[in-house]
Structure 1
Amino acid sequence: MELPQGIDRDTVASVADEHGTPTYVTSATTVRDRFDSLRDAFPGARIQYAAKANTNPRILALLRERGAALDTVSVGEVIAGESAGFGGDGMMYTSYAPSPEELREVVDRGVLVNVDSPGQMETVIDAGAERVGVRVNPGVGAGHSDEVVTGGKGARFGVTPDEAAALFERALGAGVEPVCLHAHIGSGFLEPEPLVRATERICEIVDDLPVTPEYVDIGGGLGIPYSDAEEPLDVEALGKMVRDAFDVDATLVVEPGRYLVAESTVLVTRVNTVGDGVIGVDAGFNTLLRPAMYDAYHAVTNLSRDAAPTGRYDIAGPICESGDYLGHGRRIAEPREGDLLVVHTAGAYGFAMASRYNSRPLPAEVIVDDGVDVIREREAVDEQFRNVKLD
């Protein structure tokens, strides 16, 4: 698998020497190109980046400069958006079971809330919101695994179409303008049909609402190929199919997350031990959780060797858990202690899901644009305990 644009072997080696490992390295050019391709595929739509995929404010600012809006799921993501220059009108908030206190703070910050229950609607009304949205379950679900399917039968996200109409009526009765109907079917699909079917169904639901909202948000979930064997999603064809299915007088909103950032980033990790078919590296599921959590595939390359792949190796992390593997049976050039490996397509749900498990500090992040800039310093070991009270 190829490296992101602007990142080469020398860049990776220099980053490792100067900033250590493990480190996430992001190509700004790739992020911009992915956004531009989606904007071209959905002309006139509001492209609203799902911040949960990667919340680094530097990356958020890069997307804002390109014309993106922001979808958030927590106060923390709203604050990250503000630090990246987004105003309240450039963000939406869509979360499951937030506290009343969080909802009130989001309203106070001027961000549109897409409510997910009658109780949330009452909280938002009481908080003094002038505008509100409603999240609906369109009855369609899709995703790369069951854990990321958020629509269809059995999904806990979104109200029924009849409940959505009732919530619109409640908002109107309270003098609050219902301006958005929101839906999201899941994450990581590579075929257009699920999103097209969801768009058709969402438009049918809009027809039964008491008023037509300003925004109709069909969600995101656009997948990317994690291996060379997977075919990339044809976003130009997807855009045409969705536009053909979208037949309401409203602004179309699309919420990509991983599509914009996953392929922009590699995780650089150093080989610490070499065993019989097993390589021990300094990045584990505390650094990149997806392989352990979803059995997700990430390609791995040994950048320290020019030779062709010579065998298959399991890539094991330093965490004291038998499930701490970044990959099984990866074909790479024969490794030696000290070699640098890159784990590809790590820009979405990489650092965003990192933890301090085993009391290991969070990794560094750098971005490659006009030079190499640190966008998050590596956490020092003792910084993990800065909020601990011993007496």
Structure 2
Amino acid sequence: MKIATPYYLIDEKKLLRNLQIIQQVRQLAGAKSVLALKCFSTWCVFDLMRKYMDGTTSSSLFEARLGFEKFGKETHAYCVGYSREDILAVAEFADKIIFNSVSQLDRYYDIAKAAKVGLRVNPGISYSHFDLADPARKYSRLGVTDKEVLAKQIPRLSGLMFHYNCENDDFETFVRQLDTIGGCYGDMLKQVQWVSLGGGLYFTKEGYPLEKFSKKLADFAGEFNVEIYLEPGESAITGCAELVTSVVDLVHNEMDIAIVDASVEGHMPDLLIYRLPAKIEASGRGDHNHKYMVAGRSCLAGDVFGTFHFKDKLEIGSEIRFADAAGYTMVKKNWFNGLQMPAVAVRRLDGTIEVRRKFSYADFMNNLS
């Protein structure tokens, strides 16, 4: 099936591989997993995902509502800063409402208390390769840091949330972190019903010690008599999607440069934010002797996907596929330069490809005012 580029292509078979690992951890550890919508909210594959996950968690009213309406199951509502209107809305449907601060808990507890109320804790430890994404960075506003203040809130809470990781694929670090949390907050954990360990744990990575991971979770749950929630985002969807583009021009400025009909700034902005190169399947060395810088077609000078080696020379119309285009990509895409928004397509489990959404000038116009 020929689809006009650019478009995002989600592969359900690749997605299923991650979901089956999530299910395995659920079975071995008894830990529930709720999808982090801040990472991935493309609801056309929620029918598959809900078979293997327990619900969704959010960072805003709109995400919470999307999870409730399109995913179903458990709906966890969290936000760094709720308005009164937000709380009144989420209280209508959320199973759990998690506050970021004691001041927000005080202000809105009477509205939220019909749900299971939680509070985010900042344990002062974290794992992140980037200061920008470090929840425990200096002056962090994310979660309660004072243990004495936290202890006074426990009678009003049904659970605690600890979100302190970003792409942590190191099991031994995870163990040390969890032991620290147990040692520091064990008395409070024994007084609540559930604990969320947040997202950022890359336990679907190839070779990750799943049985040891699951046992550690189960032991922690047993020691403190709590139900554990994980909030996989990247772990749920990593490797399952790509951004498919076509070369629209070839120029030379000390090196060969291929310009494609998409944009890093508009369509894979996390690469710019974290200064990372894109990934291209089937690009390498060996007999891949044709070197190109691949760049986007926005006016931003630094709109560059990276430098890659190709087996064949690129031509106008050559297709280039950028891997890992699901997490923190589709949710962040934007209309910078008014560039054509990539369509959204899904390769279903039976191999058929379904184009779920195309975007037009009307979408661009209506995004403004």
Q: Give the TM-score of the pair, scaled to structure 2.
A: 0.88
Q: Verify: 1:256 aligned to 2:232, yes or no.
A: yes
Higher mean displacement: 279-288 or 58-67 = 58-67
Q: Verify: 1:136 aligned to 2:121, yes or no.
A: yes
1:23 equivalent in structure 2: 7
1:187 equivalent in structure 2: 166
The aligned runs of 1:279-318 (5 Å cut-off) are 279-284=258-263, 285-301=265-281, 308-318=287-297
Matched letter for residue 315 of structure 2: R
CA contact (8 A) 1:51 1:77 kept: yes
CA contact (8 A) 2:68 2:93 kept: no
Matched letter for residue 35 of structure 1: L
Q: CA offsets per residue over residues 263-315 of structure 1, 9 Å max, x none? A: 10011011111223211001112011121111123321479xxx942233221
In 2, Cα distance between the equivalents of 1:210 and 1:191?
Answer: 24
CA contact (8 A) 1:192 1:233 kept: yes
CA contact (8 A) 2:97 2:117 kept: yes
Q: Verify: 1:380 aligned to 2:354, yes or no.
A: no
Q: CA deviation at 1:185?
A: 0.9
Change (3 A) 1:110 1:28: same
Matched letter for residue 32 of structure 2: R
CA contact (8 A) 2:120 2:160 kept: yes
2:213 equivalent in structure 1: 238
Q: CA offsets per residue over residues 167-188 of structure 1, 9 Å max, x none? A: 224x2xxxxxx21110111321
2:257 equivalent in structure 1: 278
In 2, Cα distance between the equivalents of 1:68 and 1:29?
Answer: 20
1:332 equivalent in structure 2: 310
Change (3 A) 1:143 1:205: same
1:125 equivalent in structure 2: 109
In 1, Cα distance between the equivalents of 2:213 and 2:144?
Answer: 26
Change (3 A) 1:271 1:301: farther
Between Structure 1 and Structure 2, how many residues are aligned? Answer: 355
Runs of 5+ in structure 2 lacking a partner? Answer: none
Tell me the C-alpha RMSD between the 2 structures.
Answer: 2.5
Runs of 5+ in structure 1 lacking a partner? Answer: 1-13, 172-177
Decide which of 90, 110, 125 is 1:106's aligned counterpart. 90
Decide which of 59, 77, 80 is 1:73's aligned counterpart. 59
Change (3 A) 1:330 1:239: farther
Decide which of 24, 30, 33 is 1:47's aligned counterpart. 33
Q: CA deviation at 1:382?
A: 2.7
SS of residue matched to 2:301? coil
Decide which of 227, 244, 254 is 1:268's aligned counterpart. 244
- Identity over aligned pairs, percent: 21
CA contact (8 A) 1:142 1:186 kept: yes
In 2, Cα distance between the equivalents of 1:293 and 1:302?
Answer: 25
Matched letter for residue 124 of structure 2: G
2:180 equivalent in structure 1: 201
Decide which of 137, 143, 149 is 2:134's aligned counterpart. 149
Q: CA deviation at 1:59?
A: 2.5
In 2, Cα distance between the equivalents of 1:162 and 1:354?
Answer: 42
In 2, Cα distance between the equivalents of 1:125 and 1:322?
Answer: 48
Decide which of 29, 36, 60 is 2:46's aligned counterpart. 60
Matched letter for residue 111 of structure 1: D
Matched letter for residue 152 of structure 2: A
Matched letter for residue 156 of structure 1: R
Change (3 A) 1:337 1:236: farther
Q: CA deviation at 1:234?
A: 4.0
Matched letter for residue 36 of structure 1: Q
Change (3 A) 1:223 1:322: farther
CA contact (8 A) 2:257 2:295 kept: yes
SS of residue matched to 2:85? helix
